[in-house]
Amino acid sequence: MIINDTIYKEGIYKNFEEFKYNKPSIKFNYNVLKENSGYGISNNENQVSFYKILINKKEGKSIGAVFGFCDGKNVYINEGLPKLSPETEFYKIEYFGKFSFYQYVKKQKTKKLISRAERNIDNTRNIRISNNVRRMLEASTTVDEVSFVEKIINIHTGKTIILNTKTLQKLISDNKKLLDEFNKEPQQNKKLKQFLIKYLEDTEQITN
């Protein structure tokens, strides 16, 4: 399996099995573009990197759905098996024992109702609007919602887990000392990766 190998084979993975056994089926001779996504206050408080393959649309379409790729140094995945294109986003993984860890910024478009009174507040500052009139004035607009996501993939089973307070508590529940330490941690959401590594080190699934 790839976690036991010291050399990662360069290429594109069509599925999880190719990734798991370090056997990409498609040659990789492309450049990689690194970009950043922001999240937090005004979506600029923190930055997370993601990666794109510089491939033309026609060639990407001929390859179809992919799990990820290796550039010979690092491994990048997108477990959603997207169809490959110049805009497909991939995320660099880190290996922690039987788990592959990665993080990204989830982007989702949602509709938000905004009244014309709210959009033209200067014109309506001194006007009292009834609820019925306000409903008539309501309009919708599409806004981008972003959230920071951390995930792990079990390299043996391919199961993907969103790493959050509840899933980490369940994962480390057999280590009472570490679980107690985590439960007392005031910034749990910012320390998920740190406690995951501690747990795997304690169980000798990874070494320092």
pLDDT band at 141; cut points 50, 70, 90: low
| pLDDT surpassing 70 at residue 149 | yes
pTM score, whole prediction: 0.81
Where residue 174 falls (left for φ over 0; alpha for ψ -120 to 50; beta otherwise) is: alpha
Work out whether strand 91-92 and strand 94-96 pair parallel, antiparallel, or are unpaired.
Answer: unpaired
Q: How far apart are CA 127 and CA 104, in angstroms?
A: 45
pLDDT band at 122; cut points 50, 70, 90: very low
Identify the burial level of 181 via C-beta atoms within 10 angstroms of its C-beta, where 0-12 means exposed, 13-18 middle and 19 or more buried. Answer: middle
Query: Residues 161-175: what's their mean pLDDT?
Result: 97
23 within 8 A of 75, measured Cβ to Cβ? no
**Residue 94: other Cβ atoms inside 10 A:** 14
- 160: enclosing H helix or E strand: strand 160-162
Q: How far is CA 162 from CA 35, 115, 201, in A?
A: 23, 36, 20
According to DSSP, the residues that pair with 21 across neighbouring strands are: none
pLDDT band at 46; cut points 50, 70, 90: confident
Q: How far is CA 78 from CA 5, 49, 171, in A?
A: 21, 13, 23
